[in-house]
Structure 1
Amino acid sequence: MSSPDYVQLSGERVLEDLDLAATGYAERLESADAATREQLREEFVALCLPFAGRMARRYRGRGEALEDLEQVARLGLIKAVDRYDPQRGSFTAYAVITISGEIKRHFRDRTWGVHVPRRVQDLSLEVGHATMVLTTELSRRPTPAELAAHLRLSESAVLDALESSAGYSPASLNAPAGVDGAAEFGDLIGGMDAELEAVDDKITVAGLLLRLPARERQMLAMRFYGNRTQAEIAAELGISQMHVSRLLSRALGWLREAMLSDTLPRWEGASAPSDGHGMQITVTREDGVLAMRIRGEVDRDTAGRLRTGLRHAVATVGADRLVVDLTAVPLVDAAGVAALVDAASAAAVAEVPLSLTGAQPYVSRILAVSGLHNLLATDRH
């Protein structure tokens, strides 16, 4: 026990050289029994407690109580004592790293009001310490460039650290604001964004527009995105203004119904026929009936073809009945109604039975108010 290399750990004589004390502690620990090892550990930790206290005081003034920092530093000291290996170098250097890491971890995990990456938290602490040092030296608050030069970092990294430091103690949205304190801080930050609430509707409408026929999409784009009048649209597309109005109303009605429904409603319009003329006529004869099936819209552009087809059917029907099937006709305008009235007159003169079947509700109403209601009998073919 009296060897000059031994360091006394208990009693009145206490050495301040922790490296030398750590070496003696490690040597005695190798040959000691369990009870003695525990006693030696307690004595060595007690010897190092002032050192841990000095480490803790380096971080005071940063928003944490000194007593809490000392407790964290002592925890780091115990970890350093238990993990110390004399073969790896100085105990003091190892204890400094371990205790500092424990204190920084405490600041990172327990004191930040908003989570930020560990690298930024550590950098924020370094910038804060450098700010205090340079403020004392310069008698003013240092600039980001001066902090960057002092820490040998880029100015952008310092700016990131300064910005992230606001997350350490974020201000409450319920904090009083103004001179009289009647308002809260949250009242000063923006308001509800009406455009944000419409995002879902806009996305839904965009998908539904793709399900409309090309002409309807073009007309909607010209009307609501190009701010064109119905007359201008009609002139460009070569149709009547009334026809444009009906097509827009039908498209908007379908979009409205689709927006309010979980399933897509039936589109009453017809797809563009393959012949490119906007209407198809198919004629079949069976069981004493000449069936003339119309597919597509009957408007100013197609009414002439329908008129010609109907007159030819009246002339060739003979003793059979003539049935005009309008199931696939989504729209009939004034020109189309005129063609059907002309066919009804020709059939009456030729004493040919004529009936109109399969008319959709919209088309049926148009024909009824046009004087063709007597031809809209129940399907008899």
Structure 2
Amino acid sequence: MTVPASTAPQAPPQHLQPLPPETAPDPPAGSTPKSRGADTRALTQVLFAELKGLDPGTPEHNRVRGALIEANLPLVRYAAARFRSRNEPMEDVVQVGTIGLINAIDRFDPDRGVQFPTFAMPTVVGEIKRYFRDNVRTVHVPRRLHELWVQVSGATEDLTTAHGRSPTTAEIAERLRISEDEVLACIEAGRSYHATSLEAAQEGDGLPGLLDRLGYEDPALAGVEHRDLVRHLLVQLPEREQRILLLRYYNNLTQSQISAELGVSQMHVSRLLARSFARLRSANRIEA
């Protein structure tokens, strides 16, 4: 799902963009993730020390600031990976997290003795959570249920890794010490983060969209109760009067045709019809 233009976080202005990949420092060949992390921290400290002596808005300040953003993008990707179960495009989540990274760079004070990743991670994660809270969820979920859903999602990932399969509801409930009903409610609440179009085709099963499979109001539905009532009342009439009614209103015969069919006078047929109507009305529980 593409983030709507009205709610998507805007990219930084051109003078705030990070350096292109070809100008960013390359990690040493054969370096391990641990050594690359140490190199990134060392580079970050050097860049912040250089940034401190530059005037904001100058080309050199923007260059160093862009290098800081580029060097710490792995931190954003790491934070964004925690939200991969939200059914939201990862590039959108990374974009939002980058906004948090830029805000952290602008507020960071290296003289306080705190490592930049430690300072920046809450800001990056907070920006991503705010994005999901304000722009992604399509159905309002109570705050307690939303917070519990985060725990259920984390427990599901942990149990899947531990068991090599999707955990059962009972296993998740036991892990979090909550009821199975609460787990099911959280799973249902999690679906509010992603809405499927009624017109979207169903993937994998070859079936048409949900809109094409929705039911419709049967115009004859309103007559079901009346047909059942008529059937109930007709069986209470004598057999000859039942036959007259069927010939008159189901076979569409006139009274003269019915009289010829039964061998009685037309006047007698008229009296039998009137008597049948009176009995039906007196037994009609709806009108009564």
TM-score between the two structures when normalised by the length of structure 1: 0.38
Greater share of strand:
1
**Quick one: higher RCO (CA 8 Å, sep 6+), 1 or 2?**
2
Greater share of helix:
2
Could you say which structure has the larger radius of gyration? Answer: 1
